[in-house]
Amino acid sequence: MNPATFANIPHAHSQDSVPKLMGRVLLALLPATLYGVVLFGWPAFNLLAVTVLACLLGEAVCLWLAGRSVRLGMLDGSALLTGMLLALSLPPWAPWWIGAIGGAFAIVVGKGVFGGTGQNVFNPAMLARVMLLVSFPVQMTTWLDPHPWLSGSAPSFLEGLQVTFGHWAATDGVTGPTILGHIRTELGMNHALSQSVPGHYQSALAAVGWTGGSLGETAEILILLGGLWLLWRRAITWQIPVAMLVTVLLLASGFHWANPERFADPLLHLLSGSLMLGAFFIATDPVTSPLAPVGQIVFGIGCGALVYIIRTWGGYPEGIAFAVVLMNAATPLIDHYFRPRIYGRTWRGESRPIEKKSDEN
């Protein structure tokens, strides 16, 4: 019997493939990445390179250990994407070993031990980010004011190497808090928001992206455009980003309306931190999010609510990574309980009698 006869039923296939999908996501990230690199200069570029290389190396080692084709496995581009997303969520002037440890952790512990691409339960990049934050809080919470490439304050190539690979201690001159961190500090001292967040600071600058923060969270507009492009190219579906953004928006509006001095305004929530990146590029990771559209909406709502809770009451100024990883843990249960209704069956899986439908009509 010729086994080839059984291959590839049906005998027509859509033209999509995993590398194409990953390629699209990478492409959509490119503008924001370039912007981030320009904004933070050579050190940011170095960190990006180190992180991506660590991921690729980790992937190669895992594939080799698993006895799979290293070339084929690397070609799918998922390790590259993990590296990119991880780098984008790091402080841009973090030392090289942050990127290296993070990248290796993401691929080996986040994915390799589960059996490689597609088998992992948690989002590898966010797992690594959470791990780094928990293990190296100092390096992971030293944020930088923008030092755009050709401006006077930008480090030269050699200085860039010194920042990433040498000993460099943050000085108050170059570092500054992100908006969310600032709010947290101020609230910690019982200052009302109206004093601590002056109006002009609010959304305009953040939206244009002239703010300190991680590599990939500054250019909210570029991220949003990339995300919309992904939606249009059908690389992602609308359920997760929309559910997540709407949840944050609703919660933020409600609390802000109740007590504007304690709770930041919704626009600030939407446009600061890495909410956009999280909603369009991270929570949408197909491997670790629910399969079915209903489940995806539940997942998005969960992510949004957790982000808001952690940002507002938790111990960390930003909660995307934790929210995503926590909801990843819930994904199998969501997949278990939120399934599409089967044709001809009720939601509970019993055969669905005809009369009911005519009533509904």
Partner 1 sequence: MSRHVFWGGVHPPGQKHLSAERPIELLPIPARLYLPLQQHAGGPALPVVTVGQRVSKGELLAKAQSATSAPLHAPTSGTIAAIGEFTAPHPSGLPMATITLEADGADQWIEREPSPDPFDLEPAEVARRVGAAGIVGMGGANFPSAVKLDKARQAKVHTLVINGAECEPYMSCDDRLMRERAAEIADGVAIMLHAVQAARAVIAIEDNKPEALQTMRDACRVDERMEVRSLPSRYPAGSAKQLIQWLTGLETPAGGRGTDTGLLVHNVGTAYAVHRALRYGQPLISRIVTVSGGAVAEPRNLEAPIGALAADLLAYCGGVDTDCTRLLMGGPMMGQPLPCAETPVVKGTNGILALTAAELGEQRSPEPCIRCGRCVEACPMGLLPVEMANSARQEDWSGIQALKLNDCMACGSCAYACPSRIPLLQYFAFARSQLAEQRRQESKAQHIRQLMEQRQARFAREERVKAEAAAQRRAAKQSRVVVTADDDDDD
Partner 2 sequence: MNDYRRIFADGLWGNNVVFVQMLALCPLMAVTTTATNGLGMGLATTWVLLSANIVIASLRHWIAPEVRIPVFVLLIASLVTLADMAINAWLHELYKVLGLFIPLIVVNCCVLGRAEAFASRQPVLASAADGLAMGLGLTLALVLIGACREVLGSATLFAQASLLLGQSFAFLEIVLIQDYSGFLLMLLPPGGFLVLGFLLAGRRLLERPRP
Partner 3 sequence: MRDYLLILLGAALVNNAVLVRFLGLCPFMGVSNRVDAALGMGMATTFVLTLAVAVSWLLEHYVLAPLNIQFLRILAFILVIAALVQFTEMFIRKASPALYQTLGIYLPLITTNCAVFGIALLNIQQQYDFISSLLYGLGSAMGFTLVMALFAGIRERLALANVPAAFAGAPIAFIVAGLLALAFMGFVGLPVR
Ligand X SMILES: Cc1cc2nc3c(=O)[nH]c(=O)nc-3n(C[C@H](O)[C@H](O)[C@H](O)COP(=O)(O)O)c2cc1C
Residues that bind ligand RBF (CB under 6 A): 21-22, 25, 78, 81-82, 85, 111, 117-118, 120, 123-125, 235-236, 281-282, 284-288
Single out the residue of 149, 286, 305, 314 in contact with partner 1 (rule: CB under 8 A).
286
Structure tokens at 227: 């995300």
| Contact window for partner 1 (CB under 8 A) among 7-15, 139-147, 210-218, 302-310 | 7-15
* Chain residues 62-101 in contact with partner 1, contact rule CB under 8 A: 72, 76, 78
User: Cβ of residue 114: shortest distance to partner 3, in angstroms?
Assistant: 6
CA distances from 23 to 10, 178, 236, 305 (A): 26, 31, 13, 30
User: Cβ of residue 277: shortest distance to ligand X, in angstroms?
Assistant: 5
Burial of 305 (0-12, 13-18, 19+ CB in 10 A): middle
Partner from ligand X, partner 3, partner 1, none contacting 17, C-beta within 5 to 8 A by type: partner 1
| Contact window for partner 2 (CB under 8 A) among 55-63, 80-88, 129-137, 269-277 | 129-137
CA 245, CA 348: separation in Å to the nearest integer? 30
Nearer to partner 3, 130 or 197 (CB): 130
Nearer to partner 2, 128 or 298 (CB): 128
Quick check: 45 binds ligand X (CB under 6 A)? no
Per rule CB under 6 A, count of chain residues that contact ligand X: 29
| DSSP letter (8 states) at residue 340 | P
Place of tokens 């108050």: 172
Per rule CB under 8 A, count of chain residues that contact partner 2: 7
How many Cα atoms are found within 13 Å in the side-chain-facing hemisphere of 30?
9
| Nearest residue to 241 (alpha-carbon basis) of 288, 304, 286 | 304
3-state secondary structure 108-169: HCCCHHHCCCCCCCCCHHHHHHHHHHHHCHHHHCCCECCCCCCCCCCCCHHHHHHHHHCCCC
CA distances from 18 to 24, 193, 292, 319 (A): 10, 46, 19, 29
CA distances from 74 to 8, 199, 237, 258 (A): 23, 48, 25, 51
Single out the residue of 40, 143, 255, 308 in contact with ligand X (rule: CB under 6 A).
143
* Chain residues 59-118 in contact with partner 2, contact rule CB under 8 A: 109, 113
User: Cβ of residue 90: shortest distance to partner 3, in angstroms?
Assistant: 17
Residue 210 CA to its chain's centroid (Å): 20
Single out the residue of 66, 134, 192, 204 in contact with partner 2 (rule: CB under 8 A).
134
* Chain residues 263-292 in contact with ligand X, contact rule CB under 6 A: 273-274, 277-278, 282
| Nearest residue to 149 (alpha-carbon basis) of 39, 34, 32 | 39
Output the DSSP codes for 224-293.
HHHHHHHHHTTSS-SHHHHHHHHHHHHHHHHHHHH-TTTS--HHHHHHSTTHHHIIIIITT-GGGS-SSH
| Contact window for partner 1 (CB under 8 A) among 55-63, 155-163, 201-209, 289-297 | 289-297
Quick check: 180 binds ligand X (CB under 6 A)? yes
Single out the residue of 116, 181, 241, 319 in contact with partner 1 (rule: CB under 8 A).
116
Binding site for ligand X (CB under 6 A): 88-89, 129, 133-134, 137, 141, 143, 177-178, 180-181, 185, 213-214, 216-217, 273-274, 277-278, 282, 316-322
Binding site for partner 2 (CB under 8 A): 109, 113, 131, 134-137
